[in-house]
Structure 1
Amino acid sequence: MHVEETTDCLLSLPAAGVTGFKPWNPASAGFFVTSDPPGSQLGSGGGTAHVLHQAWQASPARQTGGFEAWLEASRKLIVHGSGQSRRLPAYAAEGKPLLPLPLLPARAGQAPDQRLIDFQLDAYSRILRHAPASYRVMITCGDVLLTNPAFTPAFPDADVLIVGIRSTPDEGSRHGVLFCRNAATGALDFFLQKPPPEKTRVLSDSHAFYLDTGVWLLSARAVSVLVRTCGWSSETQTYAGGAPSHYELFDRFGLALGASPVAPDPQISALSAAVLPLPAGRFFHFGTSRSIISSAVELAQASERAHAVGLGSAEAHEHCLSMNADLRVPLTGANRLLWIENAVIPADWTLRDRHVLTGIPANTWALDLPSGVCLDCIGLRAEAGVCLRVYGFDDPFRGALTDPATRWMERSFADWLKARGLSCQQAGLAPDIDIQDAPLFPRLAADDPRCGPLLAWMTALSPTPDSASLRLWLDAPRVSASDLLCRADTAARGAARSDAVDAVLAGQPAQAWQKRCLSLDLEAVARRVEGAPAAALPPPLEAQGSNVSELAAVHDVALRDRLTSAVARPNRAAGRLRDLLVAKLAVAPVSPRRAAGEDQIVWGRAPARLDFAGGWTDTPPYCLEHGGRVVNLAVNLNGQPPVQAFARVCEKPCLVIRSIDLGVGEVIETTEDLLAEERLGSGFGIARAAFRLAGFDPAFNASGRGAPLAQFLRDTFGGGIELTLLAAIPKGSGLGTSSILAATLLGTLGDLAGLHWNEQDLFTRTLALEQILTSGGGWQDQVGGMVGGLKQIESAPGLQQKPVIRWLPTSMLDAAIADKRFQLYYTGLTRVAHNILGEIVKGLFLNDAERIRTIEAIGLNADFAAEALQRNDWPVFVEAIRRSWLLNRMLDTGTNPAEVQAIIDRVSPWLAATKLTGAGGGGYMLLLTDTPEQGARLRRELLDNPPNGRARFVDVSISHSGLEITRS
């Protein structure tokens, strides 16, 4: 079986970014951060070798073992972000991975101070977590985000695995392109860098081709080859010359890969290489001033709305993004391609188009910015004042100062000097110096009244003579873009940004706060408010009246309850959602009338539910906001439907409830008795709630029924009712027993009382029943038991959940059950799902990012499992079960207690995949093997050595009938 491992996140940044690095959320605290050696140009391959070496040297493991042993101890996820960032000056010092991103619509669990690295870590962890253990290192680019709204395909086995996406020959001419002769296996034939479109079109006749996303997974063998190529000696555990040599991963290493490499190398070409194609993958670039805007807007549009949260539609249409900012200038249709972040823009500024404005303090500068001019203000460590960095929106920031092609503020630098009557010599600039190294940016106190005139003089297309500003620019301390990579005070910038985030958060108007309640990670907001005295929340949504999103109000209540830390306070969010759902379910009152003869018995029976993938996506509030996706199977146990109910009319006007499996019973004679218990687990709580929904509670009776219960039974219904239950499944089994029992009872009572409920009626009332019982469960259990067969079940977002069922073929499972590759085992351990559910749902009310992202992945795995079943692909179905088990454990650490792990360990030599059914923690366990022989050996082991006196195998067969209601 695949072994779950920890992953070390290794982040390379510019030197200034490393110095000022500060965790902005709990996840970021787990990074190892380093930068390339000063003045070095290591390339992507040498940079990878350097990051690994630095992380190993900083690790305690260095004292007990070598580099190779450290590499095997955990996986490494590398994010490269230490380049010069010439085309994105605003974030050059901090590093492109730390680029702030605006809140996206329709995406829950976003941090109020989220960065590009947060999205990268989520996207790449989704891939790495399911990769075979042989892949030790994942390499990614810090200015790229790869998204994949679908499941990650099954992994090919190779030394080098490159993640690819479908693209066009024209797009491929600007990137690396992967060519595979056999798309089914993914084996790489060769790799080309920026091939001409014509060449790719010709090769496409014989090859499938994919765009290289820059996401590479390497085995230990491949890492060894890479670091040796960069000068590593495993004997001395050092690099020749003390540091890795310059080496390009994409331009040299990649060209030597594949069955037919274009630049063979004896060591590299001996490595096996393959492509992992992501059919739904998308590639977003954040490497330039232009691309950060276009990519952020495209991400927002991918979230199903045309504009980012907090921006008007006109602004979004023109690609204007403002975050963590005090923007007082009204934007118009003339403003387009704006990025304003961590900045104060007073009303007396004039903005046009193509501006990136960052780090700007409160000011009285009254700037009139020409089109395409950008401004960044950043301090230097241990030095007063801020550097006024002005540049052009599309400046490449490359070239000698005297070269006419070298541009600054989108015009020739030579022309800029000439327009101000200056020469390089007068400006103190070496003529042949690269503009990146030229000291152009003056440092002044932020409140210096000369800042405004100086900036106006620097940015003007045709400056008027201003000797004071000229002299100030010549005399002020000036720094270069290269200087800022080392000397910028990124810690101070981070602190200013944090204050801006707090100010924006506290100042949210009600309409904007509603949207943010649906999109923000409210647990992160709570931690922020608790940890920062200046942080505060907007007024509660409850005080805003009726014009408030119902679900937003639920989240808002959950956040405020979280901050009160009142242990005794009831879960107001859960109660509010429960009331909302019961109202929205619109359970129509009914008029129960006796519809069975005095000698007739109505018999309801239903199978159990085995969940394969997608569980938790069907649970409110998640399914209400994101929809649900589940794959489950209806099964009989030991040859019979395990959930049964028997109902008959009796002479005495009362309700009698008996349980065969519990051996207890009770008599209900008054309405007060019927309403006395509503809690799940209160003996006959489910049966009581079923009677209520069947119209024996005045609240659900069409006439309002003012008469006492006994009188209603005698005079209107036509007698009392005896209801006998049987749940031939141990408590806490994980087979959906309580929900299936609820549906079975409702179906049985509906038939007895002539209510003529159809499948959708039963489904709606079962959901209402569970809300009455405060269990808060989802819909997959009742659908899994009510509807027979193997099913893929989906629901759309909305308060009224209406699952759509698609049946899947069962032939593969029938065969696997018959030859013992698929077995069901009762562990003898129990755990109540209601308790697990409560803790996870609390996190969902708070949009806790970790839980939200995990449940998103669980939903994608349902699609993965369904495809495997449709294709009759047993190995991929085994992988889907393996992924389900991993994701369930990520969601709730109590899913796999030590007693369960002991069972797994005992049969691990033969086990291909396993998972506990339902919420886990005990109950039933799916045991899957690759071969019938392994299944037999596994079965013999547990039969000979049971973990406890209750543990046992259970014969399972697929139920194609689902819930059945018949009469004697």
Structure 2
Amino acid sequence: MKNIPSLFLSQAYRDCWDDYNRSLKLKKFPRWDYVILTASNEQQAEGFRKQLEERKSFLPKHTKFVAIPDRDGQRVGSGGATLEVLKYLRSQEESFEKLRVLVIHSGGDSKRVPQYSALGKLFSPVPHKLPNGRNSTLFDEFMICMSSVPSRIREGMVLLSGDVLLLFNPLQIDYNNVGAAAISFKEHVETGKNHGVYLNGENGNVKCCLQKKSVEVLRSVGAVNDSDCVDIDTGALIFSTEMMESLYSLIATPEDYDRHVNAKTRLSLYADFLYPLAEDSTLEEFYKEKPEGEFCPELTAARERVWKVLRPYRMKLLRLAPAKFIHFGTTREILGLMNGGVDEYKDLGWSRIVGSSIKGDTAGYNSVLSSRSTIGEGCYLEVSYVHRNSKIGYHCVLSYIEVSDREIPDNVVLHGLKQRDGSFVVRIFGIGDNPKENKLFGRDLDELEQKLGVRLWENSAHSLWEANLYAEADNIQDGVDAALNLYRIVNDESAADIEQWRNAEKKSLCSGFNAADPDAIIAWNRRMEDLVAMDEITKAIRHKVPAQKLQKRTTLTKIQKEWLKKRLDKSDFGERMRLHYYLGVVLEDENEIQECFHIIQAEMLEATVKSLSYNENARIVTDRHTVNLPLRVNWGGGWSDTPPYCNENGGTVLNVAILLNGKKPVEVTLERIDELKIVFDSRDMDVHGEFDTIEPLQATGDPFDPFALQKACLLACGIIPQKGYKLEDILRRLGGGFVMHSEVTDVPKGSGLGTSSILSAACVKAVFEFTGIDFTEEDLYAHVLAMEQIMSTGGGWQDQVGGATPGLKYISSMPGLKQEIKVTHVELPESARKELDERFVLIYTGQRRLARNLLRDVVGRYVGNEPDSLYALEEIQKTAALMRFELERGNVDGFAKLLDYHWELSKKVDAGSSNTLIEQIFSSIEEMIDGRLVCGAGGGGFLQVILKKGITREDVEKRLNEVFMDSLVGVADCKLVW
């Protein structure tokens, strides 16, 4: 059953998001005039300003964003900080009237979560990717959730606590701009005892403010209802402009300002400004209320003045429901949120993994976890990178850190912090440690100080927060090592290097926070965003996530380009080509995709050329020699022979040689001539070329060269060396010049019958025989493969095998850059041969295959890990093997069914293999055939079918003539060559 309150809040959040976007775009939309962040000191305020600057394009431009530090860098209390805000506003405006002001009190040191001290808990991560794709922080959530509030108040000041996220529907706010209002939710009493609780009066005003009272006390005063819930103090308040004026009167003169805003008086927003607003409050009890600082005469005098100006006002209690109160108070709370608690907010889009490249159960925010590292249960990575060979223990928090080849113990926080002087401090402490106390990993620090004979503190405040424990380092890895050394020292481990720690310059959690470089923190966050995006690509490649599913980007950053260069340098062939392809898809950059195909071609060529050598023993042995070869039809496994698929998976193909019009249509003739030159003559192409120097013959790779095939043949066969030599000397040794005639007769272009590759095979065979070079079938196939790579055609190896020798061939290769082809001549029962001769029919479509970028599309779908393509390519190989099995046992019907299945798989590999005409041809003879498949890549050329028993070629020819009349569509004169 759906969680109704959660769904309600989800809808409320979407409404707030819409209002947030309206505040960005609509000039007259109600928005905050000021958003003011309070900070503990100027360093923290500077960090806030830099974070605001980082977000300026996502913030309402008509709202003024301000960060105000505590006076003179001394803690003046949340009440003093509120007065500082009023002082600033009055310096900017003549009056508070008609102003809508949002104040977020965020000036704490975040002692309980030191990893957030430097930039403040306000900018700590929230496990949520915003609808605009940005990783969220508390500040971002505040801005979104509070974007609907200005329309609910005419004027006034809303104050929030910077470590509490409130999720509620702002439409429930009913405030009449009188006095003050406190926003409250119902929370269990066990939560309420650790916070403030309001006791509601009969008239809807707050009767009493109870700060951190025990459960017994809360029950005794009637603050707990029958469901064991209380009205919790969320830290969210609304002050009217009149009340703002009254508070400002406390600091109207310099003397008054000095009396109320200082480190000694240290007024509290919640203890000093709210208490007088409660109905049951008395001045006598007000004097006793626990202060934010210490009791002193100055505080007593200040409270008397506060009572005088605020007592006339009352505070309305605004109970909102449903609502959520999320406190980011301690590291343990955050770890609990990231390891299960976050599931409660999944309807809001919250997740354990946000903007991270992480596989598995580890929680992460803007982080990378190498799949070759090991990590224990219950860990949380925050703006961190865990490299391969790292071992992370159980229940760890890694924050702003990079770990390589290190072992991190269980139950620790490891936090990296760059200092303004360029050094690094890596702080390590226990998940359960409270820096306000005097323990580290459960060990008493006074005892540790005495044992080590060093001074850990420079003052009397003996707490973990102030202890000088953390060694400075020149880089992050040295900082990690120093932190791990400290862990060993505290835990009395034998591997600890105490002297190294003693001699190092050390900082405390406090001093490290004060010396932090906010620019470096922001830059690290950006860096991790960049690296996450790149690591996601490599993981997508490894886990076969389709490239098309990745988020599009416009360009690569400098960091990403550096990452890519390093990654490419150490990548193997498969990852290298896919990195370029995936980037081409992600960036929509054709150059990257072309680089992918260039790598495929280059790798294939390099692997092939290594085995080539110049043959100095070749001699012309006859004046004239002719080779004629048949064509082929592919029955199973087509595309599995194509690089890079065959290089990574091996290939399996079943094909058979055919005669067309009773002939072997591929012909190559070599003829000796007296002149020391080489002549190429291609009758069907109508081109003629003569060469008396060697350099033009060695120039290959131009796809528009009309003699690319002939040149590649001479290079592959070793007749012409790849470099150097003189053509005259070579031909004199051979015994003369020669003419190479090549021709494919009566075969339409784009037939799908393998003509170009079979012509290559005919050229190689003719050259070998003309020059007296001994060769085997395997030699022939290998040299044709080399030829194809020299020409950079990118095609597979099945065509040349199909036509080079007669009969049915089962052809396979194992994975590897250099493909070694194994050919098995399949023997069929005589009855099966006869049946195939009768039932096999070749049909011409009358159209040439369309000039599509076919090979690129098919290879791109494979390289890009498109699921349909990967599945079909694997199935296609299996189908070829099953076809062989059925034919060897004479089952032509079983073979026909597999041919039909293959046709469906072929369309998954390339949807362009079929078209309206092809489907119409197959449809017109549907009841006459048991199996169908296009020849070659399809899209035109020839089709092949297996007829039903009793159906003749003449029957098919008649049907096609009836449907297509005088077109070129018809049955071809074809004979299988056994």
TM-score range, shorter chain: 0.3 to 0.5
User: Which has the larger Rg?
Assistant: 2
TM-score if structure 1 supplies the norm length?
0.46
